[in-house]
Amino acid sequence: MNGVQAGPPGSGQGSGKVILFGEHAVVHGRPAIAAALSRGCLARAQTTTGAGAQSLLRVEPWGVQVGSAEPEADPERELLRRAFAVVCELCSSERQVVSVQGEMEIPSGAGLGSSAALSVAVIRAIDAALQQSRSDADVLAASLAWERVFHGNPSGVDSAMAMATRGGLRRFVRSAAGPVLTPLHTNDVVHVVVGNSAEHGSTMAMVTRVAEHLQRDPARTEAILDAIGDVVDNAQRALETADFARLGRLMDENQGHLERLGLSTPKLERMCQSARDAGALGAKLTGGGGGGCMIALAADASRGQLIARALSDAGYAAFVVEVSG
CA 73 – CA 71 distance, rounded (Å)? 7
Residue 207 binds ligand PMV (CB under 6 A): yes
Residue 34 binds ligand PMV (CB under 6 A): no
Task: Report cis status (omega within 30 of 0) of the bond before 61.
Answer: yes
C-beta closer to ligand PMV: residue 55 or 155: 155
Residue 288 binds ligand PMV (CB under 6 A): yes
CA 302 – CA 121 distance, rounded (Å)? 33
CA 307, 311, 312, 317 torsion-angle sign: negative
User: Amino acid letter at 309?
Assistant: R
Q: Which residue is nearest to ligand PMV (CB)?
A: 288
| Of positions 10, 13, 26, 283, contacts ligand PMV by CB under 6 A | 26
C-beta closer to ligand PMV: residue 15 or 155: 155
CB of 33 to ligand PMV, least distance (A): 12
191 closest CA partner among 244, 253, 240: 244
Helix segments in the chain, DSSP class H: 75-91, 114-129, 136-151, 157-162, 203-216, 218-240, 244-260, 266-277, 301-313
CB of 195 to ligand PMV, least distance (A): 15
**Range in contact with ligand PMV (rule: CB under 6 A) among 76-84, 107-115, 122-130, 221-229:** 107-115
CA 122 – CA 110 distance, rounded (Å)? 20
Residue 157 binds ligand PMV (CB under 6 A): yes
The Cβ of residue 179 has, within 10 Å, a number of other Cβ atoms equal to: 17
Catalytic machinery residues: 158
Residue 105 binds ligand PMV (CB under 6 A): no
| Of positions 20, 23, 36, 272, contacts ligand PMV by CB under 6 A | 23
Interface residues toward ligand PMV, by CB under 6 A? 23-24, 26-27, 111-113, 151, 154-155, 157-158, 203, 207, 287-288
